Structure 1
Amino acid sequence: MKHNALPSFRQRGLSLSSLNVPRRYHLPIILLRTLCLIPSVLGTLYNTQAAWGVPIRDSGGAITLKSTESDYWVANIWCVLAGYWSWILTTSMMRRWLYHYEISNAIVRLITLTVVNWSISAFVCSKIATDRPITIWMTICLILLISNVLKLCFGSSPKYHQKTEDVLQSPVRINLKSTAVKILVLPLTMVTFLTMFVALQQLDQLQYTTSQLMVNQPFGLNYNDLALTTTTSGTTSILILIISSWSSEGFERRQMLRKTALKFIENDNDVAYRFVIGQPPSARTQMLMGPKIETESEMYKDMLLVPASDLRGDKSHKLFEAFRWSNEFKYDYMVKSDDDVFVRWDVVRSELHGLGRKSGYWKGLVYRNMAPDALGADKNMNTDYELPILPVYTSGTMYILSHDVINLIVDIDTPQRFVSAEERNLGIWLFGYDINPIHDFRIQDGNACEADQIAKRFKNKKLRDMQVMYNNVINDRLQCTSLDTTICGLCYPCRGKKNDWRASNLACDQFKGVTDRHPNSYLKVSGANVKDSLEPSMMGKNDAWIIDGLLSQRTSKFSETDDWHLLYWVCWTSDSSTFTDRHWRALELVWVHEPRAVIFMISNTLPDDFFQDYTKAGYEIHVVNFNKDNLLSWNWYFGPGTLDWLNDWDKWETGKFFYWHLTDYIRCLLLYNYGGTYMDMDALWIRVPPDNNLEFIGSDYSSLVSDREWTLDDEGLYLPQGLMRFKRGWALFREMCESAFSSYTYDPECFNCGGPKAITSYVREHQAALELAGFTILPREVLYPASYLEIHRFLSANPLAEQELKTKIVVNSWNIHLFGKMTNHLPIEKGSLVDFVLKRFDLDVPHRDTAAVSTHKKNKIISSTGTWTVPMRLVGPRNYIYRYMSPFTRIPLDSIESRRRALQQPAAGRFQGLDRIYVRGGPSVVSKVKVSLEVAFGKLKIGIPPSPKFTKNTIELKDASQKDINVLLNSLIYSPSPLLAANGGRDRMNVLIEYSNGERDEVLVDVIVVESEEDGDIL
């Protein structure tokens, strides 16, 4: 009998697989074999995580060469190959050991092989830098390749690959050549090909260039010849860096700049400049241009050679090195430009000298909320930056940085980040420093030539036009004379130009800069700064009077003072015959509650003396006549969009809504330029706001379901513009009008697009930032106690009207808006709520009924007597309730209801609303008036002019108008005695007015002192 050389267990016929082991050993052996894949799995996980972390890793910049995302993904391919070859090696050796040894001995050898595999992988990883993943796994694959080749050559036998019975019956030899091709050559070829393909791709796209290794090279040429007036002399010093190149075109551009723009700063000790070039891009370039550049440097002493490549894609690194060089010198401002840009250095120098020294200063043509490929794709940036928008940056044509900003960029411990677009690189460098660049649209990227442009780029073919522009300037001609002015500059008005930058889906904000307005673009980042820093007024330079001493083109007497709330703006664009008694009374109600108010009537129909009867009584109202020419000459526009819209006045004027739209536009401009209160002529004041510094707009509810698309909430809350009070400079008015009233977007058929819909839509997007800055949305009942569908009942007779006025309207409201379009045709019926308001608040200043002219009722006088003579009457309350609130009483403002109730409360001790004390009628001016004031227990004081507290006082006024008397009475403030404040009670106040002509009137007021409830309840 032939001897069977197989182990005893193989003779039992229990094997169910090619491993030829009992079934109970299948799982352990499979698990042991799988352990050989652990290094490859761990390597794949590490490389994947590292690939995802590349943008974060390189956010600080790359000074030395680093692996990119592509490197890690290629390393993963080698990981897979290493795992495959490790599996092949382990499986082959396992078959051999199971054939020759007992299972226990084979398992020991299998574990040993796995440990050796792990150890070799760990050793290779420890000896090669982790930032070289491809090298690591190519080395491991090389070791596995050698192992598999040796195994195939010396250890392969068909008996290890067949079952027992097959081995005994058919001893077939393994085809080593075929096996080597399948398991070694073919996978290696595929992986090598993929690696080479990715490597070639990175040669075209990778931004990590060898120029970044030039950190130890010195600066060259005229690097140490800089001479600037030091900052201790008080003169603003300026350093100019002009980025140039080794090319012959760069040489020509430098010569042209020296003959033109740079002559503006010739012989200025406080201004210095350098042309910045990098290391020669090639030996040929150095041989051809080197002698020329050396001669140029010796002649002009204005060349700077920096340790960075001069290749086009390395401009950012070249600029960074120039910044690093400049930081060694003392200067106030650094201005960066290019050698193909004509800069009005005379203008720049003059403006910086006038500005003085500033910190954190950054100025240029600002780009904000721009996608990485919005103005041309930056492949280098797209490779490593998965950002929907770029940080704010300025055009590389020209920008200005203060010295401390340069220091922030170069004087840091961490390496900087470089992308090819240097202007975007600047935004990346400064991102996170909270430095907001100042937008200057006079710096232009394109081919436009504008009259006030300060930086214009010229292409090589038009380089001689620099000479033309320079000659224009020095000969006192417009700088664009003989140059192409048909192209519209970015952010400039485009009327009459052959292009419009809005067609490129760009929007331009006067303060924020250029943005992408494409409707399908990313969500834009809204800044927290909702107010503009308006340029100060300088009479005789950038401003002129519209009304001498009171109103200029840019500001007013009150705009920058604590009395800004005294400014009132109204508009009137229809014929004077439509100015009815209710409109006169709307003006009177302003002066009843605030006699110091100054009203500006913006009108294109009313004469200057239309309100002379009120001005004789001392009240201030001024008619500001306007037309298209006036608005343009006063610079009453927000930017290029509204400027074009005004220039096209004749085109829009035929529209049926034009004058409504014009009123919407003017009210926004007035509040933006001057601040104050804008009110429609159908708004009736019944009480002044409790806080003079409160900035507010009212709210109402729309009944139209279609309006829910733009209202503030699902219930239809929107913001009417019939009454608003704001300080000057709120950006929402400018941005809203530049959008709604631009010739590019204006819709003459959309009635509401520049009114409530426009402002509500804007506030809806920016509500949190606006309210944080003091923008207050009042509850509906404060300014609009009745909607436009209900307001008619306020004009209808109602036996409960007076009770409703006292217990509801005056308690909750400051104003009643009559919605003129709904009520102008309705009479004010006797006994109506509005009738009671007009009777209670009436100055009784005689004036002509201008509406009577159209009905042939000549010389009709509106007054209580129907004549020009009206007796004086002192008006005041019978009872006045003083609600005392101790300093310890808490006022909770953490709920909508509590805030609403706080807004509704009158100022303590002030006689407001129905408690108003004032005189009506009487002569316009009286030679002498005696005002006697007395209180039984408490104290009084006069706010204007300020006086100490008193119990009894007599004030004499000479040549006093009705306004003068009412200003004094309006400033009365009552305070209770300590006993009344503690326990409550009654006090008695007496007000007596005596005229020199014998007229006199007296008001006795019963003062009731009560204490507000504890726990912060506001009565």
Structure 2
Amino acid sequence: MVSPTEFSLPAFPKMLKKMYKKMFDLRKIFHGPKMPIFSAISFAAIFFMLYSGHLFAGPSSTGSTALQEPALPAVTELPQLNTHMNINREDYDDDESEVVDPLVPPQNVTIAERIEWFRRKLPELDLLNSNELSEKFHGRVVEFFNNNNNCSVQFYMVWLSPAKTFGPREFMSMDSLFHSNPEACLIIVSRSMDSKHGYTKLKPVLDLGFKVLAVTPDVPFLVQDTPGEDWLEDMKSGTRDPGYIPLTINLTNLIRIAMIYKYGGAYIDTDFIVLRDFSELRNAVGAQTMDRMTNQWSSINNAVVVFDLGHPMLLEFIKEFSNTFNGNKWGYNGPAMFSRVCQRMGRSLPSYNVTILQPKAFYPVDWIQIRRLFRKPTTGSQSRWADRLMVELQDSYALHLWNKRSRKLIIEDGSVMDRLISEHCVVCQHINHA
């Protein structure tokens, strides 16, 4: 069995990235056409010779789907991380197409022009201010937890998009969460889901007695008495560049940390299948990739964050967010920010009682290979690979689906995804199949 330290894969050349994206975009969530069959031209031959080992073969010495033995040891070694690294937008799961934001900054403008534009738009930024509904936030959260004081885990999701875009895939994440954690409590931090439309979306799990609350956030309250106050004041004063990335994406990065700091528990993105009980996890984040040569983590992702209430490491994350905020680099205020802080903390991490789990905990399948999980095996070797992966995933807490890469893929009957959904759902709403 191959170590998860052999997780990284060579990057696609730009030309192949474009071809892959065109192939990928043909798949539609509900009514996608079948993938075209490429003719046997020389370009395709070169493509398959170079990359078939990564995309279509079974686990190998560089395969990201291979997992180790059942234990999930912490990664305590520190990487030689370039804390000023440029972030490749393709490596992270922030996806602007999922965010319907009327305040997306104008393109091709100077920083000064963008700041001026943002200053004019500030009155429209409800998320940055408290209002009559959001001021009830803390009271509603406390009441929810008091009424459900036996929560096995306090989970949080953040949804800053319209309720209508909280679709079957997102519902599946919530469904699998309650399948593996039936006594958990889930708070969805969302203005849009805190509505009649949102209630309709959540009703199937509420009717089964699961504990879930959609609540409108109060960002000023969440960052109160934290370094995030300075960032918020700078933004509200219109003196700081918001960047070209939709502000809702970076607000999601901040809200997840602040929620756990205020109340404790586990944050998880809405593009996961939850596979195991989280109740034994404490003060943990997951490595996304490992360096094959050094056996050290090379990047940490913030798609799952588990910490005790008031944990000092969370303040370090918020401080880094506030002090180094850059709205022009994808992932910089999210996964890369977590990596920078953990690298900077160095050997003091153990004194913070922080565990960095190996990739198989939350990211057992790399984003490059995620599409294999959506396809029905058609050969004996593919069926054996799927069966082996199903066994190996029993040792993962959750499987990240890299929504940016997989949201348009059809779940084919008999695929790994089809099997996982059938084994890890309660309501089992129709997702989509070929």
TM-score bracket relative to the smaller structure: 0.5 to 0.7
- Could you say which residue in structure 1 is the equivalent of 2:206? 615
2:157 to 565, 570, 573: 570
Q: Distance in 1 between matches of 2:140 and 2:220?
A: 21
- Could you say which residue in structure 1 is the equivalent of 2:334? 755
Q: Distance in 2 between matches of 1:614 and 1:780?
A: 30
Q: Following superposition of structure 1 onto structure 2, how do residues 145-544 of structure 1 map, counting pairs within 5 Å?
A: none
- Could you say which residue in structure 2 is the equivalent of 1:684? 273
Q: What amino acid maps onto 1:840 in structure 2? A: E
When residues 620 and 632 of structure 1 are mapped into structure 2, their CA distance, relative to the original with a 3 A threshold, is same
Q: Distance in 1 between matches of 2:152 and 2:347?
A: 24
Q: Following superposition of structure 1 onto structure 2, how do residues 124-139 of structure 1 map, counting pairs within 5 Å?
A: none
When residues 551 and 653 of structure 1 are mapped into structure 2, their CA distance, relative to the original with a 3 A threshold, is farther
2:257 to 668, 671, 677: 668
Q: Distance in 1 between matches of 2:252 and 2:427?
A: 29
Structure 1 residue 625, shift from structure 2 partner: 1.6
Q: Distance in 1 between matches of 2:238 and 2:165?
A: 24
- Could you say which residue in structure 2 is the equivalent of 1:720? 301
Q: Distance in 2 between matches of 1:645 and 1:673?
A: 22
When residues 797 and 817 of structure 1 are mapped into structure 2, their CA distance, relative to the original with a 3 A threshold, is same
Q: Distance in 2 between matches of 1:718 and 1:795?
A: 26
Structure 1 residue 752, shift from structure 2 partner: 2.1
- Could you say which residue in structure 1 is the equivalent of 2:411? 828
Structure 1 residue 584, shift from structure 2 partner: 0.7
SS in structure 1 opposite 2:301?
Answer: coil
Structure 1 residue 651, shift from structure 2 partner: 6.6
Quick one: percent identity of the two aligned structures? 17
Does residue 842 (structure 1) correspond to residue 425 (structure 2)? The answer is yes
When residues 633 and 807 of structure 1 are mapped into structure 2, their CA distance, relative to the original with a 3 A threshold, is closer
Q: Distance in 2 between matches of 1:770 and 1:751?
A: 26
Q: Distance in 2 between matches of 1:738 and 1:545?
A: 26
Q: What amino acid maps onto 2:356 in structure 1? A: I
When residues 649 and 634 of structure 1 are mapped into structure 2, their CA distance, relative to the original with a 3 A threshold, is farther
Structure 1 residue 765, shift from structure 2 partner: 2.4
CA contact (8 A) 2:219 2:255 kept: no
Q: What amino acid maps onto 2:154 in structure 1? A: L
Q: What amino acid maps onto 2:164 in structure 1? A: S
Rg larger in structure: 1
SS in structure 1 opposite 2:183?
Answer: coil
Q: What amino acid maps onto 1:803 in structure 2? A: D
CA contact (8 A) 1:573 1:604 kept: yes
CA contact (8 A) 2:267 2:303 kept: yes
Q: Distance in 2 between matches of 1:764 and 1:833?
A: 35
- Could you say which residue in structure 1 is the equivalent of 2:313? 732
Q: Distance in 2 between matches of 1:780 and 1:635?
A: 30
Structure 1 residue 702, shift from structure 2 partner: 7.0
Structure 1 residue 830, shift from structure 2 partner: 1.8
Q: What amino acid maps onto 2:300 in structure 1? A: L
When residues 768 and 556 of structure 1 are mapped into structure 2, their CA distance, relative to the original with a 3 A threshold, is farther
* Two-structure CA RMSD over aligned residues (Å): 3.4
Q: What amino acid maps onto 1:747 in structure 2? A: N
Q: Distance in 1 between matches of 2:238 and 2:387?
A: 49
- Could you say which residue in structure 2 is the equivalent of 1:766? 345
SS in structure 1 opposite 2:215?
Answer: strand
- Could you say which residue in structure 2 is the equivalent of 1:625? 216
CA contact (8 A) 2:152 2:185 kept: no
Does residue 641 (structure 1) correspond to residue 230 (structure 2)? The answer is yes
Q: Distance in 2 between matches of 1:759 and 1:808?
A: 27
Structure 1 residue 697, shift from structure 2 partner: 1.1
Question: Comparing both structures, which one devotes a greater share of its residues to strand?
Answer: 1
Q: Distance in 2 between matches of 1:736 and 1:675?
A: 15
When residues 756 and 633 of structure 1 are mapped into structure 2, their CA distance, relative to the original with a 3 A threshold, is closer
CA contact (8 A) 1:632 1:646 kept: no
Q: What amino acid maps onto 1:787 in structure 2? A: D
Structure 1 residue 739, shift from structure 2 partner: 3.0
**Can you list the C-alpha shifts for 1:200-238, whole angstroms capped at 9, x where unaligned?**
xxxxxxxxxxxxxxxxxxxxxxxxxxxxxxxxxxxxxxx
- Could you say which residue in structure 2 is the equivalent of 1:697? 285
CA contact (8 A) 1:697 1:721 kept: yes
Q: What amino acid maps onto 1:622 in structure 2? A: L
When residues 654 and 766 of structure 1 are mapped into structure 2, their CA distance, relative to the original with a 3 A threshold, is closer
- Could you say which residue in structure 1 is the equivalent of 2:188? 601
Structure 1 residue 624, shift from structure 2 partner: 1.4
Structure 1 residue 786, shift from structure 2 partner: 0.9
**Can you list the C-alpha shifts for 1:715-772, whole angstroms capped at 9, x where unaligned?**
6621101112111112222233223224xx4321022221121111111122433324
**Can you list the C-alpha shifts for 1:942-968, whole angstroms capped at 9, x where unaligned?**
xxxxxxxxxxxxxxxxxxxxxxxxxxx
Does residue 584 (structure 1) correspond to residue 165 (structure 2)? The answer is no
When residues 642 and 605 of structure 1 are mapped into structure 2, their CA distance, relative to the original with a 3 A threshold, is same
For structure 2, the 5+ residue unaligned runs are 1-118, 120-134, 378-382
**Can you list the C-alpha shifts for 1:231-258, whole angstroms capped at 9, x where unaligned?**
xxxxxxxxxxxxxxxxxxxxxxxxxxxx
When residues 650 and 833 of structure 1 are mapped into structure 2, their CA distance, relative to the original with a 3 A threshold, is farther
If the length of structure 1 is used for normalisation, what is the TM-score?
0.26
SS in structure 2 opposite 1:719?
Answer: strand
- Could you say which residue in structure 1 is the equivalent of 2:72? none
Q: Distance in 2 between matches of 1:648 and 1:688?
A: 43
- Could you say which residue in structure 2 is the equivalent of 1:854? none
Q: What amino acid maps onto 1:832 in structure 2? A: S
SS in structure 2 opposite 1:586?
Answer: helix
**Can you list the C-alpha shifts for 1:392-431, whole angstroms capped at 9, x where unaligned?**
xxxxxxxxxxxxxxxxxxxxxxxxxxxxxxxxxxxxxxxx
**Can you list the C-alpha shifts for 1:687-717, whole angstroms capped at 9, x where unaligned?**
224x6253311112179xxxx9xxx968662
- Could you say which residue in structure 2 is the equivalent of 1:815? 398
1:659 to 248, 253, 258: 248
SS in structure 2 opposite 1:787?
Answer: coil
When residues 694 and 734 of structure 1 are mapped into structure 2, their CA distance, relative to the original with a 3 A threshold, is closer
Q: Distance in 2 between matches of 1:607 and 1:673?
A: 20
CA contact (8 A) 1:652 1:658 kept: no
Q: Distance in 2 between matches of 1:762 and 1:803?
A: 38
Structure 1 residue 839, shift from structure 2 partner: 0.9
CA contact (8 A) 1:564 1:676 kept: no
When residues 650 and 620 of structure 1 are mapped into structure 2, their CA distance, relative to the original with a 3 A threshold, is farther
Q: Distance in 1 between matches of 2:361 and 2:173?
A: 17
CA contact (8 A) 2:373 2:416 kept: yes
- Could you say which residue in structure 2 is the equivalent of 1:900? none
Structure 1 residue 635, shift from structure 2 partner: 5.1
CA contact (8 A) 1:661 1:751 kept: no
SS in structure 1 opposite 2:422?
Answer: helix
Equivalences, count: 289
Q: Distance in 2 between matches of 1:638 and 1:605?
A: 26
If the length of structure 2 is used for normalisation, what is the TM-score?
0.59
CA contact (8 A) 1:685 1:814 kept: yes
When residues 788 and 695 of structure 1 are mapped into structure 2, their CA distance, relative to the original with a 3 A threshold, is same
SS in structure 1 opposite 2:319?
Answer: helix
- Could you say which residue in structure 2 is the equivalent of 1:788? 367
Q: Distance in 2 between matches of 1:747 and 1:623?
A: 29
When residues 636 and 826 of structure 1 are mapped into structure 2, their CA distance, relative to the original with a 3 A threshold, is farther
Structure 1 residue 643, shift from structure 2 partner: 3.5
Structure 1 residue 837, shift from structure 2 partner: 0.5
SS in structure 2 opposite 1:569?
Answer: strand
CA contact (8 A) 2:320 2:341 kept: no
Q: What amino acid maps onto 2:387 in structure 1? A: Q
- Could you say which residue in structure 2 is the equivalent of 1:775? 354
When residues 803 and 739 of structure 1 are mapped into structure 2, their CA distance, relative to the original with a 3 A threshold, is closer
- Could you say which residue in structure 2 is the equivalent of 1:66? none
Q: Distance in 1 between matches of 2:356 and 2:307?
A: 12
Q: Distance in 2 between matches of 1:619 and 1:580?
A: 19
